[in-house]
Structure 1
């Protein structure tokens, strides 16, 4: 059987190493590769897949596109408005989102304290999943800091669908405060300005979903605080994808061993 990760850019992805390590650990003769697919190109990619294909992992900028293409979607994918996982069943695509439960698991692996509120930096599909994960952990207030309010529209819609109906504030990345128990950054390395990092210093827990290049400026500033890394998130969400694709329990430690050491 064949699986792959799709996105643009994609050359940096560690997903092939993780999934291949998992297959080897359980004795599956499956393949998992990376394919560069630009925005708008997902439909053309899936239309030519043959019956040997089982699953697709989706990264930027395909997560919302993946949900739109699927015949069925899990409750969490519908809640997030985005799919990072497509299961291929016959001629149909089933959408799922392992980012939300993966983020919950990743954060709890590094921090067991209260999460009453938090700030998410960025407003894309990953930001929506991270904000929902904070809600799942008990956050009653979410602050979204974005370059422009329009970037937060889909994330706002996702949070409005959450049964906890958190209080949501939209602010500017340029100068608004970072508040709460956790700050989650979905921003690339180059967007983490010195001033923004300084505004994050009073938040007790840092969660940076980026893992290449590492460390990010935000991660480097968190030496004295709990730090949840992009590797933590990648491992936890990939383990859930592995289970969706194969129907087997994920060999988490074998998959963890395939990650580069920071």
Structure 2
């Protein structure tokens, strides 16, 4: 493979742990690749993408670029097609877009022995909420309650639920629902909710995709030990990204994947974001 450069793009980007995660995987796999970071905003994405030369193999995309990457991709994997969000681009003859956040959410729950659900709740209505909805639907959820500050933004999630054949109920943060199996919080890091304690009651296992600062206000309010930090999702979606960069397929396991996973998990304990 002559293309050997990789990077994560987003705005902001200095906090990203993706370089540490991917560099750890590259070392274990013995690849002559380099993985960096670049601050790119939504307005600058197209020019930055078209400015890449043949030395580039792929990109990881974070906020606010997942929708822009979706529009740029010429080929989409099923999860990207469903969610309208791409967090991984594989460069080559055609620009292929993938969404590994869906699998990252499923894998994070599975690691904590949560593999099937019937009733789920999602907090937030952005791009990650779409990934969360697809993930919990694939875990078996038939009823999904979405809570957002602005419920009108969540109407696309209702439409996505119709495509998936699941019931999606939309409301604001004041509309409580108890007795769910799992809660997936897709709110920005540092978000504070006046209703956090109410969500914690009967909220099942919580996956809060935010990981800085940690514990989040929501995780601190949870009334049980059933809390999964966002770093778990970050880790598992990154493993799937590495599969894409190596094999072109997020489902194709890596050589020595156990060793890769261990190295990447260790990289998460590094207090620096590099």
TM-score range, shorter chain: over 0.9
1:204 maps to which residue?
204
2:134 maps to which residue?
132
Q: Distance in 2 between matches of 1:35 and 1:82?
A: 19
> Is the 2:208–2:230 Cα contact (8 Å) retained in structure 1?
yes
| 1:186-197 matched pairs, under 5 angstroms | 186-197=186-197
Flag the 1:157–1:36 CA change in 2: closer, same or farther, 3 A: farther
Q: CA deviation at 1:229?
A: 1.4
> Is the 1:114–1:181 Cα contact (8 Å) retained in structure 2?
no
Stretches of 4+ aligned residues off by more than 6 angstroms: none
What's the TM-score, normalizing by structure 1?
A: 0.93
SS in 2 for 1:61: coil
Q: Distance in 2 between matches of 1:24 and 1:181?
A: 38
SS in 2 for 1:191: coil
> Is the 2:6–2:34 Cα contact (8 Å) retained in structure 1?
yes
1:54 maps to which residue?
57
| 1:1-262 matched pairs, under 5 angstroms | 1-90=4-93, 92-112=94-114, 114-162=116-164, 165-173=165-173, 175-179=174-178, 180-222=180-222, 224-247=224-247, 248-249=254-255, 250=257, 251-260=260-269
Q: Distance in 1 between matches of 2:26 and 2:129?
A: 30
1:148-182 Cα shifts (integer Å, max 9, x gaps): 123213333333322xx111111002x11044111
Q: Distance in 2 between matches of 1:138 and 1:261?
A: 35
The count of corresponding residues between Structure 1 and Structure 2 is 258
SS in 1 for 2:23: helix
- RMSD across aligned C-alpha pairs, in angstroms? 1.7
> Is the 2:197–2:222 Cα contact (8 Å) retained in structure 1?
no
What's the TM-score, normalizing by structure 2?
A: 0.89
Q: Distance in 2 between matches of 1:2 and 1:207?
A: 32
Q: Distance in 1 between matches of 2:115 and 2:60?
A: 31
Q: Distance in 1 between matches of 2:244 and 2:139?
A: 23
SS in 1 for 2:95: strand
1:94-134 Cα shifts (integer Å, max 9, x gaps): 00111111111111111336411111110011010011111
SS in 2 for 1:35: strand
Flag the 1:113–1:244 CA change in 2: closer, same or farther, 3 A: closer
> Is the 2:145–2:168 Cα contact (8 Å) retained in structure 1?
yes
> Is the 2:155–2:170 Cα contact (8 Å) retained in structure 1?
no
